[in-house]
Amino acid sequence: MQPFDLTTVVAVCADLRASCVPAKLERVHQRDRTHLFLSLRTAQQRLWLLISWHPQAARMHLSPPPPSIPDTFTFSQQIWHQVSGLALTGITQLDPWERVVHLEFAPRPGVPPQWHLYVELMGKYSNVLLVNREGLIVTAAHQVSDRQSRVRPIQTGESYVPPPPLVGAIPHRDEPLDRWRDRLTVLPQALGTSLRQTYRGVSTSLAQDLVGRAAIPPWRTTTETDEPEWRALYTQWQRWLGILAEERFGFILTEQGYSVLADPEHALPLHGALDTYYGDRWQQQHFQQRQQQLHQVLQHQIKKQTVKIADLKQRLVQSQGADRYRSQADLLMAHLSAWRGGMTELYLPDFATGVPVAIALDPTQNGVQNAQRLYRKSQKLRRAVTAIRPLLEEAEAERDYLEQVLTALQLLEPDALDSLAEIRQELHQQGYLAAAEPGDRRRDKKSREPALNCHRFPSPSGFEIWVGRNNYQNDLLTHRYATDYDLWFHAQEIPGSHVLLRLSAGAEVLPADLAAAAELAAYFSRARHSDSVPVVYTRPQYVRRPKAAKPGMVLYSHEALLWARPQLPPQGA
């Protein structure tokens, strides 16, 4: 993800000054730990300003309204408590070559500001701070103690101190080519690296953009660059400085990310393009991180249950000796006359085969006591079998459930954040996660049930085929939305999604419709990469959830079997 560099900050600030100043602050909403929304009412319209201090996606731009979820964060409430009713009267950079944006709030334009919101867009050091008119920090997104940083601690009640200035040279439009080139050729390194390390305000993406616009290979070093290339790069350097000074930016997407140095006449809308670029990539990154976290939790729990099952099976095998000990006790009781004091072993003929059987004896006990000892051992093993089998069945059922959840997790698309949140909430409710993530939707019996966000595909005859994305949706699909006319599909004895072929009364189902539903059931299962998968189907009335079973786990009967090739219908997802 491309960092929000100085050039983008200048472009956004210039556009915001034209569209949002002045504007009345109507609302402050915090979506999650790193995203804050300011609702601004101008004379023409209502706008939403997004401010993010996420380490990999720090940014500031206009955006669509935030999702309608409760705001339970103290930071946004503190800002609203202090700044409510005021107007945004100024948007500037604290320093022309720093990524710190200064938002001023006052009762009306032309009046000295009462509150200052400093937005520091500096990668992993990003922060947002509310400062009063005396320059004291009232609240901050991140507070930094003296132990965390001796250079710049950030604490409420302390004076606001800007970030330490960068050490690079300040770019000037009047700097001649020779002087500019001398600065860049101090060390023999790549041109882009030299630009970034020599001058302030030059990011990696900007350096790549300038080198690329000068038609210079990206690997070219300062010692290998010839005179025409230096002049071409200097021309692009001057063009960049001119765009900054004149504030005539243009947003375009590039192979590496984006650029705001394009011709404005052929550019995309700045804020909408930034919102799409960072929103999509932040969502993908957020999804991958959460998916990986849940994947690790599930893998750990599956491994734990696998070890438990192996141990129970071993104990069950050991318990199979109950009949042998009882048979030995019966032999000993039938041949007590063969026992002699001090014996440690006795060979007696088996009742059925006559083959001698070795019986281990305790020399401190007589024959009857040894037989009683063998009877007690046999009874103990029988009790162990009775106790172990339910535990084994329970452990196997729990492992099957976890594998079902893991399969659903692995089959999620990168944009299915809602379905991912449902899986996380399910694991929290089942006790596999200690705490739910902030922002997760909690459901109870009194809450309104949201719409079923499952996959929907058309069958060859035009019927709808519904596919659950996780166990929560599987339960809703099978036990709440299914009717007596529908058909229920599932990969046979393979973790996967519940699939419903939606039918109306008297509808005629063609073999192609059954095949399409079976193919989807095979595709949305762990056997997705197999050539052929067995799929069962039946009426929903024959599908039931066992008592105390985990979500998504069902038993079925009256089923028929189809063999299907895992694939999506021609129309796609």
Q: What residue segments make up the domains of the chain, in order of their start?
A: 6-165, 177-268, 293-437, 455-564
The span from the CA of 260 to the CA of 251, in Å, is 4
- Residue 359 reports pLDDT greater than 50: yes
The span from the CA of 380 to the CA of 374, in Å, is 10
DSSP state of 520: H
Predicted pLDDT at 447: 45
Average pLDDT over residues 325-337: 88
Predicted pLDDT at 282: 83
DSSP state of 88: E
Q: How confident is the model at residue 429 (pLDDT cuts 50, 70, 90)?
A: confident
Average pLDDT over residues 333-350: 89
Predicted pLDDT at 437: 58
Structure tokens at 65: 């309204």
Alpha helices in 21-157 (DSSP H): 74-83
Predicted pLDDT at 571: 60
Predicted pLDDT at 546: 87
Q: Are strands 23-32 and 252-253 parallel, antiparallel or unpaired?
A: unpaired
User: Residue type at 10?
Assistant: V
Average pLDDT over residues 328-333: 89
Predicted pLDDT at 443: 46
Are the C-beta atoms of residues 105 and 117 closer than 8 Å to each other?
yes
Q: How confident is the model at residue 439 (pLDDT cuts 50, 70, 90)?
A: very low
The 10 Å CB-count burial string (b at 16+, else e) for 458-472 is: ebeeebebbbbbbbb
Predicted pLDDT at 573: 42
- Return the HEC string of 238-281: HHHHHHHHHCCCEEEECCCCEECECCHHHCECHHHHHHHHHHHH
**Tens of pLDDT along 1-15?**
899 999 999 999 999
Structure tokens at 560: 């028929």
Q: How confident is the model at residue 266 (pLDDT cuts 50, 70, 90)?
A: confident
**Tens of pLDDT along 36-73?**
999 999 988 999 999 999 998 999 999 999 988 888 99
- Residue 288 reports pLDDT greater than 80: yes
Could you tell me which of 96, 110, 85 has the C-alpha nearest to residue 25? Answer: 85
- Residue 321 reports pLDDT greater than 80: no
- Enter the pTM of the model: 0.70
Predicted pLDDT at 435: 63
**Distance from chain centroid for Cα 430:** 19
Nearest-Å Rg of the Cα atoms of the chain is 35
The span from the CA of 201 to the CA of 39, in Å, is 30
DSSP state of 148: T
DSSP state of 170: P
Work out the end-to-end distance of the chain between its first and last CA atoms, rounded to an integer number of angstroms: 27
**Which residue would you say has higher pLDDT here, 507 or 414?**
507
What's the number of CA atoms in the CB half-sphere (13 Å) around residue 38?
A: 28
Question: Which CATH number describes the domain made up of 6-165?
Answer: 2.30.310.10
- Residue 438 reports pLDDT greater than 70: no
Average pLDDT over residues 345-370: 89
Predicted pLDDT at 449: 52
Predicted pLDDT at 572: 47
Q: Helix, strand, coil proportions of the chain in percent (round to 5)?
A: 40, 20, 40
The span from the CA of 276 to the CA of 499, in Å, is 33
In degrees and rounded to multiples of 5, residue 452 shows phi and psi of -75, 110
Q: What is the dihedral of CA 250, 17, 71, 135, to 10 degrees?
A: 130
Q: What are 222-230's contacts with CB under 8 Å, separation 24+?
A: 222/184, 222/185, 222/187, 222/188, 222/189, 222/190, 222/191, 222/194, 223/185, 223/188, 225/191, 230/177, 230/181
Burial of 9 (C-beta count, 10 Å sphere; 0-12/13-18/19+): buried
Geometric angle at alpha carbon 532, from 530 and 536, rounded to 5°: 115
- Residue 80 reports pLDDT greater than 90: yes
Question: Which CATH number describes the domain made up of 177-268?
Answer: 1.10.8
- Residue 259 reports pLDDT greater than 50: yes
Structure tokens at 22: 């002045």
Q: Tokens 């919102």, residue?
A: 275
Q: How confident is the model at residue 436 (pLDDT cuts 50, 70, 90)?
A: low
Which residues, other chains included, contact 22 with Cβ-Cβ below 8 Å and sequence gap of 6+? 42, 87, 88, 89, 108, 109
Predicted pLDDT at 351: 86
Average pLDDT over residues 147-162: 90
Q: How confident is the model at residue 444 (pLDDT cuts 50, 70, 90)?
A: very low
What percent of the chain is modeled with pLDDT above 70? 96
The span from the CA of 104 to the CA of 495, in Å, is 56
**Which residue would you say has higher pLDDT here, 385 or 486?**
486
The span from the CA of 3 to the CA of 56, in Å, is 7
The span from the CA of 332 to the CA of 49, in Å, is 89
Q: What is the dihedral of CA 525, 530, 534, 535, to 10 degrees?
A: 30
Categorise residue 74: left if φ over 0, alpha if ψ from -120 to 50, beta otherwise. alpha
Q: Tell whether omega for the bond before 218 is within 30 degrees of 0, i.e. cis.
A: no
Average pLDDT over residues 392-401: 90
- Residue 157 reports pLDDT greater than 50: yes
- Residue 480 reports pLDDT greater than 70: yes
Average pLDDT over residues 550-556: 90
- Residue 569 reports pLDDT greater than 90: no
**Tens of pLDDT along 106-122?**
999 999 999 999 999 99
- Residue 372 reports pLDDT greater than 50: yes
- Mean pLDDT, the chain, as a whole number? 90
The span from the CA of 184 to the CA of 209, in Å, is 17
Are the C-beta atoms of residues 27 and 77 closer than 8 Å to each other?
no
Structure tokens at 507: 């509808």
**Tens of pLDDT along 445-465?**
444 455 688 999 999 999 999
